Structure 1
Amino acid sequence: GLILMNPPFSRSVGRGSDALAAVRHLQAALKRLLPGGRLVAVMPDWFANSARMADIWAMTFAGMALRTSIRLTNGYGKHGTGVSVRLYVIDKAVGDTTTVTISRRNVGELIEALIVPKRGSPQIEALGTPVKRGGAVSLLRAMKSRPAVAPRIFRAPTRNEVLPVGYQVLETPAPIAEQVGVYLPYRPSRIVFEAAGEHPTSLVESVAMGSIPAPIPSHIPHLPERTVSERLLSSSQLETVVYAGHAWTQFIPGMFTCDKEGVGLVLDAAGRQYRKGFFLGDGTGAGKGRQVAAIILDNWLAGRRKAIWVSKNEALHADAVRDWTALGGMAADVQPLSRWKIDEPVT
């Protein structure tokens, strides 16, 4: 396969102004490129293998080979703009992601120095080895035998529409399972999902916690279809998404202003209303990163496109990217705070 692209540099559909629009388009195109295929992209000048872009560069080119890197300092001069751009030739194959950049003023100067790297052949999915029949060949079998016909591969269209997560509310809480020591096997007490995966590990809660049923929720999350149909979230993780959204649709009774430290609320008739919060206190093994990613995704698809993901240290940035991309997000959506200088506005 071959993809030629000149993506938007600063705007995306649904996001408006988007500094990483070109990177998002490039990552999406590379995902769709066949193994062994080639992609040629015109990219903004800042998208280079620099210290500032090191993480985004590594995530974008994982499993790729950068064949050619070109920088044109005045490639669009005849159109009245002197903006510099970069041109990348990328193969979906194992290879180096660093190469010498050819810098020229325009395409005319580039042609003399350009060598087009040889393309590999796209890798087609293996059809599998036919199963050989054992035993002697009978006369009737020999007469009925026909040359094997290679099966044709049909690929159904990939759908991933944003759909409401279907669930049934239980007016009577679900029965409590048999107690084991001081713990009870965990179960969503008020919700039965139409489609949800089993959690990969056993979850438990204290007897005291398990004896108190959860409130009846009203929030209906909207998530990509495959997030639910392919069981990317377990029922307990989906329950977290429901209750987080349920809490955020409500307001704390009363009017408030922030205290002097800016971390608390003080009752004030001239103040404003504040939404309720949601505290996730799950322990190890519950998949909190995946839950946080799903909660953000539910809000993201509702048009709320800014979220602050606080982790213990920057090393956990890779974990956040892993959980976000597992649900269909783009790696470039999750940016470490260190990408901006202290006095630089976060955009």
Structure 2
Amino acid sequence: MSNSAANRPVIPILTGPTGAGKSAALLPFLEKCPSLEIISADSRQIYKYLDIGTDKPSQELRSKYKFHFIDRVEPGERFTAFDFVRESEMIIAENLAKGRRPLICGGTGLYIKALVEGIVEIPEDDLQVRSRLESDVLEKGPQYLFERLQAIDPIEAEKTHPHNIRRIIRALEIFEVSGKTKSEFMKEGQEALPKYNYEIICLLPPRELLYKQINDRVDKMMEGGLLAEVEDLRDRGLEEKVIAVNVIGYNELFDYLNDRISLAGAVNLIKQNSRRFAKRQITWFRGMEELKFAESGQMAENYLNDLLNGEIKS
């Protein structure tokens, strides 16, 4: 590690798969230090109105403690990993200026990876360019667009299946909007140094226990009014937008409300999809470098106590 890197402030991150118990592990720190600010690294909790199914902190907790990125955008509104990094770094700087550090907590690996490894902003969607490229697919076929991608950005083309039309169109769209290839943006992202050093603690209970916790949490969400929350979203006219953001727990219950599945079937599907999601998260975390794995909330708490030594008083 270079001297400049060694001198960067260390910012703690508590992550782990859905249902691991991150929120429960967080509470002792908030009780000991009410001024501790939490940066939520959860791409589901950013959406307004999606409360029970995303397991947001309660209104009581949010009135007592400072949480960032909860209810940040409307369902369907754009919020990227770049937005998360840019705003998180501003929050961290504000906290450091006050002589304290925030705690980052959440299970969205993409957010955490972007924060830890650096990221650059890729141009937003251009619907006019995209529409023209989609017309080219219909008129000239996918092979025509793939060959264009091979000529413009051979590195990206090598990573892309010739029939992955969405990815091909997005890569060509980036080039047409910016004059730079997607590969060039990705290279810049790899070279963009993060402003801080991050210590990542990954709460990962044994799989059997994790799956039980997931199943129990789904039952608790149903008892807590998840179905009524989904009905309210439909009454607000938000069904299509919520379906588009694809948050587990909502689409399954929309299917129930639209008579496509029984309620018991929907609940079982939520549990199944949640377990599958946790499995994908675990794969992602195991692929990241320099994580400390904690099998229990107590172990995670001990790690965080060491990192925040001097700032959290018992």
TM-score, scaled to structure 1: 0.19
Relative contact order higher in (CA < 8 Å, ≥ 6 apart) = 2
The structure where strand makes up a greater share of residues is 1
TM-score, scaled to structure 2: 0.21
The structure where helix makes up a greater share of residues is 2
